[in-house]
Amino acid sequence: MIESKGHALVTLVAPPPIPRAAGSLPFLGHAVQLLRDNLGFIAALRTTYGPLVEITLQPGTRTLVVQDPGLVRTMLTDLGPGLDKGRFFEKMGQLLGDSVVTAAGQTHVRRRRQLQPAFARERIAGYVDTMRGEAEAAVDGWAPGAVLDVREAMVGLSLDMLAKTVFAGSLDDTAFRRLRADLSVVMNGVGARVMLPDWVERLPLPANRRFTAARDAVRATVEGAVTRLQASGHDTGDMLSLLLRTTDEETGRPLSEHEISSEILTLAVAGTETTASVLSWVLYELARHPEAESRVLAELGDVLGDRPVTFGDLGRLPYLGRVLDETLRLHHTGWLVTRRTVTETRLGPWTLPAGTELAYCQHALHRDPLLFPDPLAFDPDRWLDDSRPRPSGAFLPFGAGKHKCIGDRFALTELLTAVATIVRRVRLELPAGRTVRPVAAATVRPRTLLMTVRPRTGAPPRRGA
């Protein structure tokens, strides 16, 4: 196309057409490929197609997978305030309601401001002793020589840390175990519903009935805890108590029971599913790489001596920080994060109509060999300063822009505290030659991770022991 600009002629180059991924079926789209191997399917898109590729999740709706890190960054930051959350968050909304994670626009901004005090530095610092105590108690329960299901053990630990920092006694142990079982059903269901067309949800299938029953049970458990704490008027010093004191900045009214329950459920999902998976992968990689484990232990010994880890120590553990960054790169828990255009939107050279679904995969992005040399190698030292800075948007452990994870500092504190506590007490052995495959539902987690518990010789004593 040629356009006149005064006396000059300017040639406008049309953007290249956006390719469509092969294999879409009538009424099902790409559901068959995704259900068979969603991580493999999404990863293959990066090696087969360009910066954008179209897939079908919901027939009649265009879904574009954004694969270029610069375009991902643009989508999340520059365009972020004007985009809706999209399909993944709609499905999460079936559990969470209108929480800070699922809300968009001004509702999201308002919720984020309301929740910000819960994640203030001084409040997070106050949780470290509790987090460490729960990690120590978990290790106490692991019998030497026993084969440990590490993923389930980390779910239990994450749940215990959540119980003390978010609920602080507002739920009893039985209710928490029931909550965990129901959450597992719901999160698996959310993962399936992202991949399947909407019409499948309306079928009278056993899986749909289980999902509905578990979702209703989860909300009933959390709403019951909120109601009891409201009635008691007792401030337990946890996040739930803080939310009960929070008011709406526009009306001055307290948050409703439904609003509080939605935010607490968001913390419960992030605090079990994601935290447990990352902890499992850290322990897995340290077991596979004894030299990295030795460096972690040496650093902990130099910084801590024989005393337990504190909040002030966490910033003085750079190698452990790189181990965590490398785990978040190689084993990111996010496999499909979505946004949706509300109006006609320009992304790079493409103009996208309103209602276009956009998606990106942190798991695949972080394993791209063009962005990270030898991407499947676990190499914490790749994060040392070098002469080849990575493009902006190549590493997004907590997202970016206005919708970046509000709990990122809480999560990092929890992860660093737990790892620093566990590895000094026990060594977890992986059978020789054993590799563990990831599986993705709502999040990416280890399929099966069994390791043998060995006491660490010369381990520092527990506080109070």
Residue 8 has pLDDT above 60, yes or no: no
pLDDT score, position 236: 62
**pLDDT grade, residue 331 (50/70/90)?**
very high
pLDDT score, position 1: 47
Residue of higher predicted confidence among 1 and 166: 166
Identity at 187, one-letter amino acid code: M
pLDDT score, position 191: 86
Measured between alpha carbons, how far is 289 from 299 in angstroms, rounded to an integer?
A: 16
Give ∠ CA 357-104-63 in degrees, rounded to 5.
5
Per residue in 358-406, pLDDT (tens digit) is 999 999 999 999 899 999 999 999 998 665 667 777 898 988 887 788 7
Contacts of 422 (CB under 8 A, 6+ apart): 135, 138, 139, 283
Nearest-CA neighbor of 186 among 111, 272, 107? 272
Measured between alpha carbons, how far is 169 from 176 in angstroms, rounded to an integer?
A: 10
Per residue in 343-360, pLDDT (tens digit) is 999 999 999 999 999 999
**157-163 contacts at long range (C-beta below 8 A, 24 or more positions apart):** 157/276, 157/279, 157/418, 158/271, 158/272, 158/275, 158/276, 158/279, 158/414, 159/271, 159/272, 160/134, 161/130, 161/131, 161/134, 161/135, 161/271, 161/275, 161/414, 161/418, 162/267, 162/268, 162/271, 162/272
> Which residues are bridge partners to 338 per DSSP?
359
Burial 253-281 (b: 16+ CB within 10 A, else e): eebeeebbbbbbbbbbbbbbbbbbbbbbb
Please tell me whether residue 136 adopts helix, strand or coil conformation.
helix
pLDDT score, position 178: 83
Residue 71 has pLDDT above 70, yes or no: yes
pLDDT score, position 12: 60
- Within 10 Å of residue 376's Cβ, how many Cβ atoms? 8
Per residue in 144-157, pLDDT (tens digit) is 999 999 999 998 89
Percent of the chain with pLDDT over 70: 91
pLDDT score, position 13: 73
Measured between alpha carbons, how far is 415 from 433 in angstroms, rounded to an integer?
A: 27
Measured between alpha carbons, how far is 434 from 93 in angstroms, rounded to an integer?
A: 37
**pLDDT grade, residue 245 (50/70/90)?**
confident
Per residue in 112-142, pLDDT (tens digit) is 777 777 778 888 888 899 999 999 999 999 9
Contact 341, 354 (CB under 8 A): yes
Contacts of 301 (CB under 8 A, 6+ apart): none
Range 405-418 average pLDDT: 90
Residue 83 has pLDDT above 50, yes or no: yes
Please state the length of the chain: 465
Contact 287, 170 (CB under 8 A): no
Measured between alpha carbons, how far is 379 from 273 in angstroms, rounded to an integer?
A: 25
Residue of higher predicted confidence among 267 and 421: 421
pLDDT score, position 242: 74
Helices (H), 150-269: 150-162, 173-195, 206-232, 239-245, 257-269
Please tell me whether residue 412 adopts helix, strand or coil conformation.
helix
341 phi and psi angles, rounded to 5 deg: -75, 140
Residue 14 has pLDDT above 90, yes or no: no
Range 311-322 average pLDDT: 96
The separation between CA 391 and the C-alpha centre of its own chain, rounded to angstroms, equals 22
